[in-house]
Amino acid sequence: MTRTRVLLVLVPVVGALLFWLSRPASSAGVAGALPALPSSVEIEVGPASSSSVDATPEAEVETAAADSKPALEVLSDGALIVDLNRASEQDLRRLSGIGPGRARAILALRDKLGRFKSIDDLLRIKGFGKATLRRLRPQLRV
């Protein structure tokens, strides 16, 4: 399937899903359609940021700014934007052409580098060429 066809299918589906999820429970129309969560449910947001003694105030501000953005963002038109420095394997696999092997390779490179400084760092991964990077660049951020 071409990218345009995929977007033509995904945009209405994602829009309908977002609309359905954003409705208040009282307007759901079906009593009990969504089960109530127990009050003891804990939601894990992500790994806690660790700051070292050597951390500079600039690094802390940079980390705080990075933590405020989600790893995966769905735009109003249904397009995905993935933050390479925060994405999980599942987030990366949502990109077209990224399977489990490539996702693990991206995470391994991120572990090796500490964090991506540029999207071009992906060229260090075997099998990631300029064409692949050109195709994925609009969907990626660091």
* Structure confidence by residue, pLDDT tens digits, 6-17: 556 666 766 665
Q: Is residue 116 very low, low, confident or very high in pLDDT (cuts 50, 70, 90)? A: very high
Which strands, in side-by-side order, build the sheet including 72-74?
72-74, 80-83, 140-141
pTM, full prediction? 0.52
For residues 141 and 81, is the Cβ–Cβ distance under 8 A?
yes
Unique residue bearing structure tokens 């540029």: 118
How is the chain split into domains, by residue range?
Answer: 59-142
Cα–Cα distance for residue pair 142/134, rounded to 1 Å: 15
Residue 64 has pLDDT above 60, yes or no: no
CATH architecture of the domain covering 59-142 = Orthogonal Bundle (1.10)
